[in-house]
Structure 1
């Protein structure tokens, strides 16, 4: 059973309990099910708290699992006026070992590299179980997005990230059999990357089928088959007029806002859109004979954005993004006497937001939708 600090002593005898199991957790101001003195490894309990207290999690009830003699997470009932750790994108703050913060606690928020505070708001305070308006860390205008992809090259000594602070440097390395032309290192300056290297290789002639001369591709017919000398059929004329050349001859790859290059071949690039954006137009882009790129796609927004900072009925957590055709629960500011969740269901239809009134399952037995 869950022990409520009853003060008794449990005498253990060797071999009676499994080494991997857990003793009943001590849970002042709370209760759990099922109630047992010991639990086997992998067992899960559900617990709730007395009036005036709440679990150190987001809901008014919680679960904990026995893992090799320890409960994860540790069951805790904290004061109703205490606060759980805030959720702030692209930011960090001092973490409390207890995993919760007492009423009146103040945290200083620091934005991650490449981000800066919006409206210069840098602190939050726990006020009667809720945080004061949460600071927003937005991308700095001097920061850069992910560095460009260069064919036949990899970035070394740098893990993937979406935002790089001004002054950041990344270094490219060409694959075997390719030679570097230009600077190996690029630098983020005023929101843009400096020009990177090109990886080139010598190209020889093929035998039959297709011949590569320099960077231009032409199609030949093996001797003794197909069209007679001095005659070009209409299909070959069409193919010649739409001749493509290697993408190296078109310079830097096109930058598609909110898009990324997912595949590179000798004569084409393939684009996909980032999460919450939809690709409109051709996914494949080629370098044509004139040295220009073929038609480029665009990435159109496919989401709704709800700014909780501008709506007093919502708990301030910054901007909530909802994909088109989907819905999310947005936590509402709850009355002082409530210990259970209070939320609004927000839906996104073709860029238009529809939201229900703030409610809770205890008030509305069937649904809050």
Structure 2
């Protein structure tokens, strides 16, 4: 009798094992797996490979999948050898497919995270014969600032710690109790401008703000140090060392004119530029006025499009003539018959194109 009760206690203590669902054999089109069974218990693993001309939808020529409560994870799938898996691009985002792979000829366009920029302005990659062409790289921007400087008697509020900040970022300091900046204010904001932080605040106590601390002078025009001994650097030198790196933009005169670019944001301490459609920016997007009254490095706007002369493609069935413009990284469909069309792609200023096919073959990689 006690053995029966003991068995009940053991089963009662393992509710997950009782309720986990088994898996049926996966439907693997174009491949095979082992072990071959009708059903598989929870957490059983299979190993699969694909037939000639196909490959798993994960890295490698063989792969595994595990039964997780009635579902295979990841789902075993075989794709064409000419298809591509998603690339690994740190500090970047790009258009993800609903399935986990890309057909040959698909193009991805990369956008870097805040604080990063595309190396050589290369934003696109094309899937060709199972590999990606020139995968973009996101590197830290020259306009990115490091961590905000530490200031005595102050903390940064409303912002978790991070080692880098994108251009135009704002952080706010708060002085500790009994200290203030700019009179009675206890908070002060600074901005990341062209890779440098704007003028830093200084937290001073109420007594020292008036020039004394415990009856002793903090400084005098003659350079007296606390306690009355020795001499310090002159006030002229102090003024020079404390001069801010940047001054308001209205002190630099007329805003610079950038061909094919426009000012999209005007602030007290900086101007922000964007390029017109079909152009891409080279250099910083933010321009400041340095303390000597000059503008910082200016951006330029270079062409980011391809000119498609349709008359050159009559040999593949194109009957249209004239010129079309395709933005960098984008595509254009041009019909070569009533149902069929050619896909033209602009990549790094160069036009590539597919064969003349109907939509089905374009969508499933057969063109």
TM class by smaller structure: 0.3 to 0.5
Normalized against structure 2, the TM-score is what? Answer: 0.46
More helix by share: 2
Normalized against structure 1, the TM-score is what? Answer: 0.45
Rg (Cα) greater in structure: 2
